[in-house]
Amino acid sequence: MDNAALDHDVVIVGAGFGGLGSAIELKRQGLENIAILEREDDLGGTWYVNHYPGLAVDIASVTYSFSFEPNPYWSRLFAPGPELKRYADHVADTYDLRRHMEFGVLVERAEWDDDAHHWTVHTADGRSRTARYLVTATGFLSQPHTPDFEGMDSFAGKILHTTAWEDGYDFTGKRVAVIGTGATAVQLIPEIARTATALTVFQRTPIWVVPKIDFAIPKPVQDLFAAVPLTQKAARLANTAMLEALMVFGVLHFKQAKPGNKLAALLGKAHLRTQVRDAGTRKKLTPSYDFGCKRPTFSNAYFPVFNQPNVTLQTSSITRVEPDGILCEDGRKTEIDTLVLATGFNLWDTNFPAFQIVGREGRDLGAWWREGRFQAYEGVAVPKMPNFLSLNSPYSYSGLSYFTTVEGQMKHIARLFGELRRRGADTFEVTEDANTRYLDRATRALDSSVFYAGDCASSRSYYFNQHGEATLLRPASTLTTLREMDSFPLDDYTYA
């Protein structure tokens, strides 16, 4: 079937930064008939969905942005969430992507037609459309997790999940519970503690928190970044190098560089000691797993909250939710009128992939990953899934800033589509052999990481899948990742 007979050259699912980056690259490669399907009613992905109080990046903004589209006007070193949404809008406008977007469109299933060499994409509105290529940019942290506590339905007060925030919700005079102590809770809890009459934080697993060196970026510096972009590039380089050292030496090469990891843990412990007065509370807030087993976070405002008289840390397990409170295993009941669920996301059961994808010979991607091993060649391609690129795959997350991941994948797209053009082909598929070699390499490399060489037993980290394998992070430096995405052997794919 020639492309003219298809509805689209490519369907991209998701209008977050992954969707924006892949669309920019595919346009550069000459594809014009692009549909970006987004289940929400606006673009920006996580930065549209999340708008809880205190939301900000926790990777400095000079790094957490596209390298080819710097924003000189970030208001702070760590920009607040709404600035990221505005930046996503700016990128979409600059690269003329809005006209490709369709909002409120939920993709439910896609299947490969091996005779006609195209994907058929089915959406919840009952429509289906054909496309030569399918790109999923559905995010890592996009399927909210709501725990199923006994009695949850009976709760008579207000329940707020951090991904479905009611803007302007006033905590003044409220008795509030926050369940969860991940990066989201760390940002949100200080905001709630400001006004709530009583706040109880229900912690199952403590998180490593290190100091956040944050400040407003003075106007003259913003002007300098705008007038001499090289200065912002230098700031990006310095910050990225620091994050990279943390990732490579603290996490990926734990076995070889244990002191680096221990130093980071010492920094976290020193931060806690200087910020929390009560020794018992400090003990409860100290992780019993190695630094890096689960994503650490940066905050100066989180720990001091536990010195406040209106804040209680509850570490006993939740037995059940009652109409007016939460009962814990220690027999204590906490009476509340507002229940905040900062309980994160489900990656491995519902998000890999985010909808059913059926490739050649009936390979169902979700079933194949779950019944076998989670795997994806270079974190983007899967055998028996022709013309399919999955941006949020096992082993795809590179470095600490998501933009490193996306920009690496853009390089992969450029190399792959360049080869398609050179050959006059329109179909690609990664070989089983190349995929297996990549999986073996990633598995071996991870042996040195904190995930396997360290103590992660008590971490409950989403870096691990349901089989206990740490299959989220790409075990390579960002420089290596970017180089490999630009130079993978072209015959790792077949072309037709």
Q: Applying CB under 6 A, which residues contact ligand NAP?
A: 56-58, 141, 147, 179-185, 187, 204-205, 295, 318, 342-344, 460, 462
Spatial neighbors of 90 by CB under 8 A, at least 6 apart, are 69, 71
Q: How far is CA 273 from CA 278, 279, 300, 385, 419, in A?
A: 9, 8, 12, 51, 56
296 or 386: CB nearest ligand NAP: 296
| Whole-number Å distance between alpha carbons of 446 and 450 | 8
In the complex, least distance from residue 162 CB atom to ligand NAP, rounded to whole angstroms: 6
For ligand NAP, which is the closer residue by CB, 43 or 358?
43
- What CA–CA distance (Å, rounded) separates 155 from 161? 14
SS (H, E, C) 384-420: CCCCEEECCCCCCECCCCHHHHHHHHHHHHHHHHHHH
Minimum distance, C-beta of residue 253 to ligand NAP, in the bound complex (Å): 21
**Min dist. Cβ of residue 389 to ligand NAP (A):** 22
Q: Which is nearer to ligand NAP, 295 or 437 (CB)?
A: 295
In angstroms, give the least distance from the CB of 323 to ligand NAP.
19
Q: Which of 46/435 has CB closer to ligand NAP?
A: 46
Of residues 461, 454, 468, the one with CA closest to residue 254: 454
DSSP H or E stretch at residue 184:
helix 183-195
Q: Which tokens hold the place of 487? A: 């130079």
Closest CB to ligand NAP among residues 205, 350 = 205
Which residues, 6+ apart, have CB-to-CB distance to 309 below 8 Å? none
Tell me the backbone φ, ψ of residue 172, rounded to 5 degrees.
-55, 130
Name the residue nearer to ligand NAP (CB basis): 104 or 147: 147
Whose CB is nearest to ligand NAP? 182
Q: Identify which of residues 128 and 346 has a Cβ nearer to ligand NAP in the complex.
A: 346
| Min CB(252)–ligand NAP separation in Å | 17
What is the smallest separation between the CB atom of 384 and ligand NAP, expressed in angstroms?
A: 31
Question: Are 20 and 144 a contacting pair, CB within 8 Å?
Answer: no
Q: How far is the C-alpha of 449 from the C-alpha of 251, rounded, in Å?
A: 6
Cα–Cα nearest to 149, from 181, 179, 174, 171: 179
* Token couple for 382: 């899967």
CA dihedral 362, 363, 365, 367 (to 10 degrees): 90
Q: How far is the CB of 173 from ligand NAP (least distance, A)?
A: 26
Residue 185 CB, shortest distance to ligand NAP, in Å, is 5
Which C-beta is closer to ligand NAP: that of 435 or that of 471? 471
Residue whose CB is less far from ligand NAP, 49 or 134: 49
For residues 489 and 496, what is the distance between their CA atoms, to the nearest angstrom?
17
CB of 15 to ligand NAP, least distance (A): 18
